[in-house]
Each structure stands twice: as structure tokens, then as C-alpha cells.
Structure 1
């Protein structure tokens, strides 16, 4: 018996020593990264991570990033990326140790990393032990993961605050619960900064080749400002950054019977508030139009979310609601009675994809829009694959015709369980790689003239310096080390800005001139002037 106790004590001592050594090595790796930005929140974390990394790269800062969204990616300083390998395909916060080790090998100026923890205790460990961020981002508080962080939205807000850096800075675009975030930030001696979405103009938003929100851009601009990157330089870096695979997108197709179809992939926004916000933005921009049809993809492990998607149908007011996946009844029963006759159960997991796609496309009108909501996994992935096989619609926009008469609703019981279909480690399509390939050279931008007499957003933070570890490579710059352009180069750039070249509807463009009123910053409770 004494021998067994001795073995137990020796093994415990070995594990303890190994843990201490691993932690010390990890902290040394963290010290090689002067600025660490941890992005947390409910919706849009992956997009904000890419926007922040793009903005800092535009300012000539060596930046490494890592996302954990639709497909986890490690993004190198040259904007190339690769899938994050996970043993047995299981995500674990411990993988952040390896990410930090790889990032430290570049001796970067900044690491922008998405928080992958959901449980409140893990969020705190992710901040205090794994990342130890100097700048935190808390993008928003939405109705999701209530079982882990809820049950109320106030509880979700306080849970997310566990990722705030003690003695650091946190940037947020959350307005409704700003007072709760401020209370939690004060308890952690953390300075909370509000990124006002109204400071981002519509012209600046149109410069992106994909759909994003002013809140996301405002947060990335504020992070770039804290690190001394000028606004126009940061915007250009964000325009050049490749989007996330799960980013909001709209495609135009021609069906086999020559019907025109605009398809919006809104699977990534899988909470009710974000879903409505995404669809309303697409309608306002004219990217989709009515008559509108909705596809709800159901999952057996997201029954509550299936019902939430059914409850928002009256606010979307679609012509038809197609329900795929399992259990379809969880979404159909949540649709209010006045709209339930518009629901069409396409048979769930038991029905062959070719069969349910034929039924879906056959019920559409000659010129309609289709919006996919819920969750992408399972039948949602098959839907995207079959739509991608349709020919693209390159014809000019026409006035939408009247929708066809609605056929009677058919309900089919489904029993087959959900099986993942998306491979998170597969490479991007060749067209995606070609379109968003990194540039071989970094463009030089003329610095923006700044009048010290004019107010400047968050002027007290212009001299922000991250804590410089002992033995670091070089002092941290207070401004971007960008060489000034020659006079003739500056004239050529100005001429290019005044006479923009023709471009497509959502093609990238050079950043527009800074609006005169963008220098006014206000608290979320004040009226925007």
C-alpha cells in the first residue's frame, strides 16, 4: 500500500512540475507579443477579428490572427491562412496555447484572437491564463447560449465581461447594456470605450466587397486608433482583408426552368436579433427584394433555436417558409397561426437532397429572393452545395414579377438524426483563393493632415502604449512607421480619389474622404449630432 501511495505522490509531483514549466513557457511566449487583442461577444466575433487584423496590417504592424467561427483559421502576417488542426475534431480552449506559441515565433506587434470559450469560468481562464489580453473587445450581447451564460441577457452581459483585461482597455459597440459593462469594467480597473457605429459613413461601408455592419467596422477602427493607425490606412487594410467563410453573402442564380433567384446565406447569424438585422440590411441595400422566401434549417440539438427562427416569421413576412432538417415540427409549431399556412415541410433528413431541392425551386416565382436562416450544419450544407451548382445570373436587374399562387402545405415527420457534413479543414474554393489572395506589396498612403485645434475621437488614448515586457526587441511605436509619399505620388493618389474607377455593386474601392463630423465622439446615451 505504501508503494502505491509513493507512486501516486511521485506522479502528482511530476504533473505539477510539468504544468508549472508549461505555464512559464506560455507566459514567456505572451511576453513576445506586446499587444494582444481578445475578441468576445455573441455575434460577429470572427468578422471583427479579421477586420481588426486587416486594419493593423494596413498600418504596417506585423499581425497574427486566429478565428473560431464557421471554420477555425490561423491567419499569418501576410494574410495567408490555414485551418486549425483539432484532435478528433473537438474544440478545446487549450489549443490557444499552441496558437500563442506559433504566433510568438513571428515576433509580431499584435495578436488578434477570437474567444472560443462559452462557459463563464472558461472565459475567465481564457483571459487570465491563456491570452492575458491588453485590449479586449466585447462586440455585443445577444440572445444565445442562455443555458450556459443566462438565463437573462443581463447575465449574458456579465458573463462576457469575464474576458475584460484587468487594468487594460475594452472596446464595445453594445449600447443597450452599456451600464452593466461599465460596472463590470470598473470592478476590473478596465477602461471601457464605446465605438459609435454612427461614425462610420455609408460610403465607407460600401467600400467592402462583402456585407458587414457599422458596429464591426467601428470597433476595428477604434482598436486601430488605440495602436496609432490612421483611419484611412486602417480602412484600406480592412478592405483588403479576406472575409470569413461564414460572412453574410448574396448570390444570384438561374434555375433550370429559367427562374431568377437571389439567395442570401444568413446561417451565421443564428439568433433572432442578428437574423432580423441581417435581412433588414439586405432589403435596405437592395441586395434582396420581395417576394421573399425563407428556409429554416433545424437541428435536433438546437430545438430552442429552431423555435426562435419560427417566431420571427411575422416580422419577415415571407411568401413561403421552407423547413428542412430535423425536427421540422419544432420550427413549424413556433410559427404564429396566421402564418403557419405558409410553412412547407420538405421532409427533413430523410428526404434526398435532389428531391427536396426540386420541390423548393419548383415552388418559387419567376423572380424571387430566398433567405436561409437557422444553423448551417446538416441539410443547410447540402442546400448550399446544390445551389452552388446552379448557373450564375449575370443579367441586369428587372422589376420583380408577382409571385405564383401558394400550394397547400405538406407536413412530413422526420426521425433521422443530424450528421455533420461540413469539413472545417477543407481548403477554400479556388475562386475564393484567387479573389482574396494577399497583395505582394504594401501600398504606401500619404498621412492624413491633422489639425490639433480640432476635436479628435478619444484624443486621450492617442498615446496609448501596451505594456512593454522586459527584454523586448524594440520600443513600441506611438504612431505607424509609414513613410510619407512623394509630392507627385500624393497628387496621383488625390486624383484617383476624386475620379473613382467604375466598379461592380459590391467590389472593393479606395476609402472615401473622412466626413467632417466623424471627429465627434459621444457616449451611447447622448444624441448623435
Structure 2
């Protein structure tokens, strides 16, 4: 028995020593990177990570970045990238140690990394032990992951605040719960900077070859300003940055005689972000009525299914198509006056039938918005639509050209970065 206790004690001691050594090596790697930007929030983290990296590259900074979102990517200083390989395909916050070690090899000026923790305790560990950011980004507070961070949005705001750097700077575009964020920042002696999305002009937004939001661009400009990159250089860097695989997109598909626009909004799987995306697309005339709203339901996301059903009342589509499993969770939350517009295609339908049923209820020259969650029948639908031919608009207007290739515009940048409560030129 004494022998077993001795072996057990030696094993524990060996693990302790190994842990101390790994932490010291990790701290050494962190110290070789002078600026570390940790991007947290509910929606848009991957896009903001790429925009921040692009803005800093525009200022001739050596930048390494890592996203987690739709497809985890390690982004090299020259903006090339490769997938982050995970054992058994399972994400774990410990992978950040390897990312920092790999980033340190390039001796970068900055590391921009997306927070991959959801549990509040893990968010704090991610900041205090794994990244030790000098600049934090808390993009927004939305209705998602309520089981882990909720149940209320105030609780979500406090949970996300655990990633704020103590004695550092945190940049946010959140407005509704800004007061809570200010309180949490004060506890950590952290300077909170709230950006105004309207400080980004429509002319500046026109330089992007994909769909993004003024909130995201305003945050990236504020990060760049903190690191000494001027607005013009930052915008040029963002315009030339490659978009995230999960970026909001619209495709033109031809199905028989029907010319349709299909908007993939699966990545924005909380109701507020989803509605913002739909509004943005309508504003840019990339989609229009009549509208078919496809809600993909998952059996492990019952609450989200219901939220998307409720959202149909704000969108007011011509048809509401339910696909996936446990579609009843969405159907019962569709407003009573829209129940007659619901088409329930629940279950695992064959791919050909799924597409034909969706197209059957969609009018010619209509738009389809796919919301909810991409996994399951959503992936099947996207795969089948990708095989359909496209069509070209006759007028070739700017609004019709959605996925134009990104180019660095040469027009002069005007405007100023406006922070709520103060202005800096």
C-alpha cells in the first residue's frame, strides 16, 4: 500500500512540475508579443478578428490572428491561412496555448485572437492565464448561450466582462447594456471605449467586397487607433482582408424558370443578429419581397427554434418553411396571424425532395433567407443549392453585385472615429 501511495505522490508531483514548466514557457511566449487583442461577444467575433488583423496589417504591423467561428483558422502575417486541426474535432480552450506558441515564432507586433470560451469561469481563465490581453473587444451582448451565461441579458453582459483585461483597454459597440459594462470595467481598472457605428461612412463601407456591419468596422478602427495605425491605412487593410467562411452572403440561384436570391444567415443564430442581417440585406437591396423564411431546427436547440419562430412576426415573410427536427418548437411560436403561411418539412428529407419542396412554395423572383442553425438539414440545403446554376442581373447595378471581389479603394477617406461620450480625430 505504501508503494502505491509513493507512486501516486510521484505522479502528482511530476504533473505539478510539468504544469509549472508549461505555464512558464507559455508566459515567455506571451511576453514576446507586445500587443494581444482578445475578441469576445456574442455575434461577429470572427469577422471582427479578421477586420482587426487586416487593419493592423494596413499599418505595416506584423500580425497573427486566429478565429474560432464557423471554421477555425490560423491566419499568418501575410494574410494566408490554414484550418486549425483539432483532435477528434473537439474544440478546447487549451488549444490557445499552442496558438500562442505558434504565433510567437513570427515575433509579431500583435496577436488578434477570438475568445472560444462560453462558460463564464473559462472566459476568465482564457483571459487571465491563456491570453492576458492588453486590448479586449466585447462586441455585443445578445440573446444566446443563456443556459451557460444567463438567464438574463444582464447576466450575459457580466459573464462576457470576465474577459476584460485588468488595467488594460476594452472596446465595445454595445449600447443597451453599456452601463453594466462600465461598472464591470471599473472593477478591473479597465478603460472602456464605446464606439459609434455611425462614425463609419457609407462611402467607407462601399470598399468591402463582402457584407459586414458598421459596428464591426468601428471596433476595428478603434483597435487600430490604439496601436498607432491611421484611419486610411486601417481601412485599406480591412478592404483587402479575406472574409470569414461564415460571412453573411447572398447567392443568385436558378431553379427551373425561377430566379431567386438566397441569403445564408445561419451563422447569426440569435434572433437580434438575424434580424439585423435581414435589415442590412434589405437596405442594400440584396434581397426583397416576396420573402421565404427557412428556419432550420435542431433537437438540442429548442429555445433557439422558438426564438426564430417568434422572429417571423418581425420579418413578415410570405412563407415560413420549417426544416430539420423538432420543428414544432418553432411552429408553436410563430404568431397566430402567420400560422397559415407555415410549411412544415420536418424530418430528414432526401436532398432532392428538400430543395423541391422549398422551391415549390417560393415565388418566382423571390428571396429566401435561411436562419436558425446550419447543422443537419441546413447543411443539406446549402449543398444542394450550391449545385444549382446562377443567373446574372440585366442592369448590373451596384446593389445586384453582392460578392464583388475585394479591392483596396483609392478614394480619400473622410470622417472621424467617434466614441460615445467623446470624439477623437
Fold shared by both chains (TM-score > 0.5): yes
2:363 to 346, 362, 365: 365
2:351 to 344, 350, 353: 353
Partner of 1:105: 105
Partner of 2:52: 52
1:515 to 407, 410, 414: 414
3-state SS of the aligned residue for 2:10? helix
Distance apart, 1:357 and its partner CA: 0.8
Structure 2 CA distance for aligned equivalents of residues 195 and 320 of structure 1: 38
Q: Verify the 8 A CA contact 1:232 1:511 in the aligned structure 2.
A: no
Structure 1 CA distance for aligned equivalents of residues 233 and 11 of structure 2: 54
3-state SS of the aligned residue for 1:212? coil
**Structure 1 residues 30 and 519: CA distance shift in structure 2, 3 A:** closer
Q: Verify the 8 A CA contact 1:323 1:348 in the aligned structure 2.
A: no
Q: Verify the 8 A CA contact 2:200 2:417 in the aligned structure 1.
A: no
Structure 1 CA distance for aligned equivalents of residues 250 and 402 of structure 2: 11
Partner of 2:182: 182
Q: 1 or 2, which has the higher strand percentage?
A: 2
Structure 1 CA distance for aligned equivalents of residues 139 and 417 of structure 2: 22
Partner of 1:497: none
Partner of 1:311: 310
Partner of 2:380: 382
Structure 2 CA distance for aligned equivalents of residues 86 and 360 of structure 1: 35
1:457-476 to 2 correspondences below 5 Å:
none
Partner of 1:490: none
Q: Verify the 8 A CA contact 2:326 2:346 in the aligned structure 1.
A: no
1:233-382 to 2 correspondences below 5 Å:
233-255=233-255, 257-349=256-348, 351-382=349-380
Structure 2 CA distance for aligned equivalents of residues 504 and 358 of structure 1: 27
Q: Does 1:33 align with 2:29?
A: no
**Structure 1 residues 520 and 3: CA distance shift in structure 2, 3 A:** closer
3-state SS of the aligned residue for 1:367? coil
Q: TM-score, normalised by structure 1?
A: 0.77
Partner of 1:19: 19
Q: How many residues align?
A: 418
Structure 2 CA distance for aligned equivalents of residues 340 and 519 of structure 1: 46
1:377-456 to 2 correspondences below 5 Å:
377-396=375-394
1:91-170 to 2 correspondences below 5 Å:
91-170=91-170
Structure 2 CA distance for aligned equivalents of residues 134 and 163 of structure 1: 11
Q: Verify the 8 A CA contact 1:347 1:356 in the aligned structure 2.
A: no
3-state SS of the aligned residue for 2:49? helix
Unaligned runs of 5+ in 2: none
Deviations 1:73-95 (A, max 9, x none): 11111111111111111110000
Deviations 1:317-371 (A, max 9, x none): 101111110011111111111111111112421x211112112112221210000
Structure 1 CA distance for aligned equivalents of residues 344 and 264 of structure 2: 20
Structure 2 CA distance for aligned equivalents of residues 212 and 343 of structure 1: 30
Structure 2 CA distance for aligned equivalents of residues 248 and 520 of structure 1: 26
Structure 1 CA distance for aligned equivalents of residues 402 and 355 of structure 2: 28
**Structure 1 residues 205 and 506: CA distance shift in structure 2, 3 A:** farther
Distance apart, 1:379 and its partner CA: 0.7
Structure 2 CA distance for aligned equivalents of residues 371 and 519 of structure 1: 33
Structure 1 CA distance for aligned equivalents of residues 331 and 223 of structure 2: 43
1:159-238 to 2 correspondences below 5 Å:
159-238=159-238
Q: Verify the 8 A CA contact 2:63 2:108 in the aligned structure 1.
A: yes
Distance apart, 1:520 and its partner CA: 5.1
| Rg comparison, structure with higher value | 1
